[in-house]
Chain A
Amino acid sequence: MPPNLTAEPVIAARALTKHYGEFAAVDGISFEVPAGEAFGLLGPNGAGKSTTMKMIGGVSQRTSGELSIMGLDPERHGPEVRAHLGVVPQQDNLDEELRVRDNLLVYGRYFGLPMSYLKPKVDELLEFAQLTEKAGAKVDSLSGGMKRRLTIARSLINEPKILLLDEPTTGLDPQARHILWDRLFRLKESGVTLILTTHYMDEAEQLCDRLVVVDKGRIMAEGSPATLIREHSTREVLELRFGSERNTTVAADLEGIGERLETLPDRVLIYAADGEAALEQVTARGLHPITSLVRRSSLEDVFLRLTGRSLVD
């Protein structure tokens, strides 16, 4: 379903901050999410993504700013806000002493849902999460991907119109990630608003209509994946390897080719609209890299440009 941009936003944050003592985990961020959109929060570890999610989820109190979920303030209407949401936390918190089916049942009861609704709903969700055969299994016998799918199934028990997903696929193998993406995409098609944090750029490109790049509690950039690439990177990237020792010395001779040059320990990146043309210029200068690769610019280039390449922790 295309996002309905004229309607009241389902989530609106204005100058939202969260301080832990002196430390500003979230430092004045503003955004709006219309119904049906898949909205991503991207950022390195410690950027404030999870803290923002907790405030949206109505479980963490903001320090200042305004926040409304479906027109409600999560601080004054905590249960009402949380009743609207499905939440997939960063760390699974399933009850491993209960069976797969019972994990969904007890969670449904938290919403006051009657057993007559829950019994068929649980079967439907197990089917959706491809866990039907595991219904009677203890949770601790499940693989990481299965637990993640069960957590997503659990978050859907109240048929929420907004789903909060905090790093939904971290730690999963590629197969499990693709299955999850497929499930999330189906939810999006059925009109569910997705709010997603991730530090996987391919995940953001796959799922998000629009995203914000967050760093040190602030929004660095905002837009669709394509817009962000257009605004913050070039169409193509030429990657050259001259060998670890030579990369830096060669870099000086590459000046002027493409729009921007970045020297890394293992390779030199040339950002250019036409990568092949840039490569021709390189060889025309008598430089012969050991390997060369022309690729499309990705969200990862944007991300690294905006948040830097140094480790944050």
Chain B
Amino acid sequence: MTEHRTGARPAAPAGTPGPGRAHPPAVSAARARAFGSWYYAEHVLRVMNSYRWTILASSVGTPVMYLFAMGVGLASLVDSSGAGTFGGVSYLAFLAPALLASAALMAATNEFTYPVMDGFKWRRVYYGPHASPLGTHQIVNGHIIAVTLRLAVMSVIYFAIVALFGASPSPWGWAAVPVAVLSGLAFGVPLMAYAASLTEDKGQFALVMRFIATPLFLFSGTFFPLDTLPLLLRWIGWISPLWHGTELGRALTYGHAIPPGLAAVHLLFLIALTMLGWRLAQRTFARRLGA
């Protein structure tokens, strides 16, 4: 490491950065190979940190708003109309895990669409790290790591508020947090691969929001059990990461009875979607950045 320091340095004018104090390139390369994904995540987290108050305010405001409106307002109507349809729990308890997962899904939708377009096209942010020792796959990983942490923070806050509302009777309720994060990733990471394949935004993201994210929110057994829907519409729930995440969340927060085999299917479905999106995103990023 010292060989770079012992070589005679030409006299440079004052203030000129010259070679000599950074660690050698071989060390940079080795560290980037080992920790590059995290280095890029640091970058994204710094960007998120610049609007942390917005993130925190919406992390608190969203659950409070939904839980009051739906879980208290609407619930008083639903519960008084003859309960028992929700596995013996209050409508608020039925709703809470679904709202938790859908909040993560919505946040993931934001974090994996416009920022990706920004990276490739608007401000070309990805081309900076691309010229550094980082690999394209590490840019993808770093982005996913940072969004995962953001989803985790907001889901923890969300769950804390759910608990304050007394809507998570089971001692296993906290485990709905990682499930919600995974639900967000299962929708968001494939979306990231899609966003990376777009060369311009002709309103596709708005369409995704309106015609994919919103219907999933409405028809994934969020507000009523999926089996109350006609068979014709039930498939929306089956392919929706939100339904799988919500079902798992309900099992965890109030002991909603699902067979263990089905629980495993829910979990595997979420993991499979995330992995598929991850592979596709890595491939698309490599193709676009390496052209």
* Chain A residues near B (Cβ < 8 Å): 1, 20, 57, 59-61, 70, 77-80, 82-85, 87, 89, 91, 93-99, 102, 105-107, 109-113, 117, 121, 124-125, 127-128, 154, 156-161, 186-187, 189-192
**Nearest 4 CB-CB pairings of A with B:** A112-B31, A83-B25, A110-B132, A83-B28
Q: A59-B130, A111-B133 are in contact. Are A80 and B22 (CB under 8 A)?
A: no
Which chain B positions have C-beta within 8 A of A70? 25
Q: Which residues of chain B from 25 to 40 have any CB-CB distance to chain A below 8 Å in the complex?
A: 25-33, 35-36, 39-40
B16's partner among A89, A113, A187 (CB-CB below 8 A) is A187
The reply on B164 being an interface residue by CB < 8 A is no
Of B72-80, B120-128, B172-180, which stretch is located at the interface? B120-128
Please give me the residue from chain A that is nearest to B7 by CB atom.
A191
Q: A79-B29, A82-B132 are in contact. Are A159 and B46 (CB under 8 A)?
A: no
Q: Kindly provide the distance from the CB of B264 to the nearest chain A CB, expressed in whole angstroms.
A: 39
Q: Using a Cβ cutoff of 8 Å, how many contacts connect chains A and B? A: 154
Q: A97-B47, A190-B12 are in contact. Are A156 and B17 (CB under 8 A)?
A: yes
Contact: B36 with A113, CB < 8 Å? no
The number of chain B residues with a CB under 8 A from chain A is 47
Q: A78-B135, A83-B26, A111-B32 are in contact. Are A190 and B130 (CB under 8 A)?
A: no
Which chain A positions have C-beta within 8 A of B255? none
Q: Which residues of chain B from 1 to 31 have any CB-CB distance to chain A below 8 Å in the complex?
A: 9-10, 12-13, 15-23, 25-31
Which chain B positions have C-beta within 8 A of A158? 22, 25, 28
The reply on B290 being an interface residue by CB < 8 A is yes
The reply on B131 being an interface residue by CB < 8 A is yes
Contact: B132 with A107, CB < 8 Å? yes
Contact: B12 with A189, CB < 8 Å? yes
Contact: A111 with B125, CB < 8 Å? no
Contact: B124 with A190, CB < 8 Å? no
Can you offer 16 A-B residue contacts whose CB atoms are under 8 A? A20-B291, A60-B290, A79-B36, A80-B26, A83-B25, A93-B124, A95-B123, A97-B47, A107-B128, A111-B28, A121-B22, A124-B17, A159-B20, A159-B22, A190-B18, A192-B19
Q: Which of B18, B28, B290 has the most CB of A within 10 A?
A: B28
* Chain B residues near A (Cβ < 8 Å): 9-10, 12-13, 15-23, 25-33, 35-36, 39-40, 42-43, 46-47, 50, 123-135, 289-291
Please give me the residue from chain B that is nearest to A113 by CB atom.
B22
Contact: A93 with B127, CB < 8 Å? yes
Contact: B291 with A89, CB < 8 Å? no
Contact: B16 with A111, CB < 8 Å? no
A89's partner among B18, B123, B127 (CB-CB below 8 A) is B127
Q: Kindly provide the distance from the CB of A12 to the nearest chain B CB, expressed in whole angstroms.
A: 17
Which chain A positions have C-beta within 8 A of B27? 112
Q: Kindly provide the distance from the CB of B21 to the nearest chain A CB, expressed in whole angstroms.
A: 7
Please, how many angstroms separate the alpha-carbon atoms of A236 and B109 in the complex? 64
Contact: B128 with A94, CB < 8 Å? yes
Please give me the residue from chain A that is nearest to B130 by CB atom.
A59
Please, how many angstroms separate the alpha-carbon atoms of A117 and B22 in the complex? 7
Contact: A95 with B125, CB < 8 Å? yes
Contact: A110 with B134, CB < 8 Å? yes
Which chain B positions have C-beta within 8 A of A89? 127-128, 131
Q: Kindly provide the distance from the CB of A259 to the nearest chain B CB, expressed in whole angstroms.
A: 42
Contact: A113 with B43, CB < 8 Å? no
Contact: A59 with B289, CB < 8 Å? yes
Q: A80-B29, A189-B16, A190-B16 are in contact. Are A109 and B123 (CB under 8 A)?
A: no
Please, how many angstroms separate the alpha-carbon atoms of A237 and B50 in the complex? 58
Which chain B positions have C-beta within 8 A of A96? 123
Q: Kindly provide the distance from the CB of B250 to the nearest chain A CB, expressed in whole angstroms.
A: 38
Please, how many angstroms separate the alpha-carbon atoms of A124 and B14 in the complex? 11
